[in-house]
Structure 1
Amino acid sequence: MESYNAAVDDAEGVLRTQGGAIRNTAGASFLSFVSSVKKHAPATHIVYDQHTPVTAQDSDAIIVLRNADRSVWQLDALRSILMAQGTRRVIVVSSSTPYDLISFKAESTNYAHVACGEYTAQALDVVADVIFGKKKATGRLAVVLAVQDQLQ
């Protein structure tokens, strides 16, 4: 988990405990999301980072992004997953903003994208319900995203 707001967060761009130690990469809300997913299906939680390559899994995958439009190493991890998954299903969850995939290009488009406006345990619990068909996704973006070629 990286710093969210450089104006108030750690100058090195990492999250720290009150004692100053670097925090685990999976915060409480993301661990709660794992529990929410496990209510619907067996799951293995894998923490990925920019220094650890993502390995192929023999199952469907849910990958959670957080500000990937700025931390593009997450998009490299997504590309790796998409290349390895073949016909398996991949769900991409934007856990903070809908802009994670704004300039994303990959050879495979075999994925669904769910955008969540926040990464609280409650919001991610609803995301799990949406992924597994227990709730319907609602809402719409407050802005319109357009491809530059379409604007000319």
Structure 2
Amino acid sequence: MAKNSVVEKVTAAIEPIVEESKLELVNVEYVKEGGNWYLRVFIDKPGGVDLDDCQMLSEKLDKLLDELDPIPQAYFLEVSSPGIERPLKKPEDFERFMGHLVNITTYTPIDGAKSFTGKLQGYTEAGIEIEVKGKPMLIPHDRVATSRLAVEF
């Protein structure tokens, strides 16, 4: 089964439980590392998640995933916070973090670069608007490989 298919099936199955638990589903990853498969579920809520949130959701998801059995091979389930360099994926993510510093990488170079750090200024149909060193920049959606919050010191 393709990794993308697993992520789509798992996401559809767990979203209602995550929402019912008053949490936000940030991301789902299904990756192979060192011979083992990992299903990683990243969650958040206003004020941040704690260990109790992760444990409670892990127990609920473990039971559901055992019943549905959407993954053919053995895997480890990990439920955690997205961390300080949280990925930005949905339009709501970009709206929520407007004005924050972000890191964006692109599939192909724009003006000779594939990595950009700047203040998030907007999210439109045309792309992601950031301010880099005082200059506005538009990165088209189809060129964006990753977008994450950046750590500000």
TM-score when scaled to structure 1? 0.25
Normalized per residue, which structure has more strand? 2
TM-score when scaled to structure 2? 0.25
